[in-house]
Amino acid sequence: MKRLVNCVIMALIAGVSVSLLAAADDAKPKYTIKEVMKFHKDKIHEKFQKGEASKEEKQKLLEGYEAMLKQKPPKGTEEDWKKKCEALVKAVKDDDKDAFKKAVNCGSCHGAHKGG
């Protein structure tokens, strides 16, 4: 009987750790900042500006910028970073090409937030 109780306790502990791990995974952003920058290298942002991005590409941009929002930049204040990333998320959501052009300004964000 004691063995059975131990077994049940072990199973409970294992169950709890699994759900804790799952929760941690949830909090992990889908893309790193560098991965999102690859979308820029692939010129998905240019397609968006021209209105040529597919639904999947828009979704990628949106998820990428939302993931950036959850991370800290290598440099600069978190407040300014959030503002810049939120502007990107909003522009993609609203399909607002003019707002996007301003928000995706490579130099102004790199100057403020890119380390190295």
Please give the angle made by the CA atoms of 47, 109 and 75, to the nearest 5 degrees. Answer: 140
Contact string (CB under 6 A) for ligand HEC, positions 88-107, x = contact: ----------------xxx-
Judged by CB under 6 A, the residue of 3, 4, 25, 41 near ligand HEC is 41
Using a 10 angstrom Cβ sphere, with 0-12 exposed, 13-18 middle and 19 or more buried, the burial of residue 74 is exposed
Contact set for ligand HEC, span 44-83 (CB under 6 A): 45, 73-74
HSE, CB side, 13 Å, CA atoms: give it for residue 13: 6
Binding site for ligand HEC (CB under 6 A): 33-34, 37, 40-41, 45, 73-74, 84-85, 104-106, 109-110, 113-115
